[in-house]
């Protein structure tokens, strides 16, 4: 779905930055969600992204994986935050435990490019061996921990959704942020699989954003 051209997205971001930053920072002041200047060396551009993503994670009552990585060097956790511009935001978090995985998924009733809204679905369950094995296979193919955090802005697409994957492995935190069609096939397959595995009612919307 060719919904938001780059110029419109930039304008939308300015509006969002003006309205939301004080609320977002207050909500996560004790435990920031992201390392300093992780998205952009320019403070203003970085803070816009931090405020945008943080307020959605705060509305989902999601923990800071950046803080977790500094507190627990043994933690292994992955989280996919999906922000479709005009549709409900979702997050899927996987926590490795005793050789298996626990899934935590949240869906908000707001819009990924605007206000997050409130939680309308929350799922928590243990993955079976086959499910966890497939997740690990897709992670090993996509290797998000090895990808650069951001892509070349000149390559930004117009598909209208943000795909953000955070990883915590052996105390090391990494985040990958992709807009629209700039993700690789392996990265896209990982994100799609996590959404499908979550059981959240979002796959129809996902397909809309992948249509030509």
Tokens 């992955």 correspond to 78
pLDDT digits (tens, 9 = 90+) for 11-44: 344 344 333 333 333 344 478 999 999 999 999 9
Maximum alpha-carbon separation in the chain: 47
What is the pLDDT averaged over residues 57-77?
Answer: 96
Q: Which carries the bigger pLDDT value, residue 210 or residue 29?
A: 210
Is residue 147 helix, strand or coil?
Answer: coil
Tokens 């970085």 correspond to 46
Residues 6+ apart with CB under 8 A from 21: 47, 48, 51
pLDDT digits (tens, 9 = 90+) for 141-190: 999 999 999 986 655 555 489 999 999 999 899 999 998 766 789 999 99
Whether the pTM exceeds 0.75: the reply is yes
Is 41 exposed, middle or buried (CB count within 10 Å of its CB: 0-12, 13-18, 19+)?
exposed
> For residue 38, what are its two tokens?
């992780």
Question: What is the spatial distance between Cα 158 and Cα 207, in angstroms, rounded to a whole number?
Answer: 15
Kindly tell me the number of DSSP H helices and DSSP E strands found in the chain.
Answer: 7, 6
Least Cα distance to 5 among 154, 160, 161 occurs for 160
Average pLDDT, the chain: 85
Cα–Cα distances (Å) from 108 to 105, 129, 156, 202, in that order, read 10, 29, 25, 11
Cα–Cα distances (Å) from 82 to 26, 75, 178, in that order, read 22, 23, 10
* Domain locations along the chain: 6-210
Q: What's the pLDDT at 120?
A: 98
Percent of the chain at pLDDT above 70? 81
Q: List the single range of 79-83, 140-144, 207-211 with lowest mean pLDDT.
A: 207-211
Q: What's the pLDDT at 153?
A: 60
């Amino acid at each position: 779905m060719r919904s938001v051209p780059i110029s419109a997205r930039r304008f939308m971001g300015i509006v969002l930055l003006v309205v939301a930053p004080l609320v977002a920072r207050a909500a996560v002041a004790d435990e920031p969600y992201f390392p300093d200047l992780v998205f952009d060396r320019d403070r203003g551009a970085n803070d816009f992204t931090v405020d945008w993503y943080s307020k959605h994670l705060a509305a989902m009552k999601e923990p800071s994986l950046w803080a977790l990585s500094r507190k627990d060097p043994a933690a292994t956790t992955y989280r996919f935050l999906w922000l479709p511009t005009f549709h409900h935001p979702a997050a899927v978090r996987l926590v490795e435990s005793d050789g298996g995985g626990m899934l935590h998924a949240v869906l908000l009733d707001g819009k990924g490019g605007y206000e997050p809204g409130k939680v309308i679905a929350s799922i928590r369950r243990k993955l079976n061996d086959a499910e966890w094995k497939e997740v690990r296979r897709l992670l090993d193919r996509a290797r998000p921990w090895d990808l650069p955090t951001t892509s070349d802005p000149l390559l930004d697409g117009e598909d209208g959704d943000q795909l953000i994957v955070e990883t915590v492995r052996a105390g090391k935190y990494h985040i990958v942020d992709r807009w629209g069609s700039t993700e690789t096939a392996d990265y896209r397959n990982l994100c799609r699989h996590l959404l499908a595995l979550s059981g959240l009612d979002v796959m129809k919307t996902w397909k809309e954003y992948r249509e030509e």
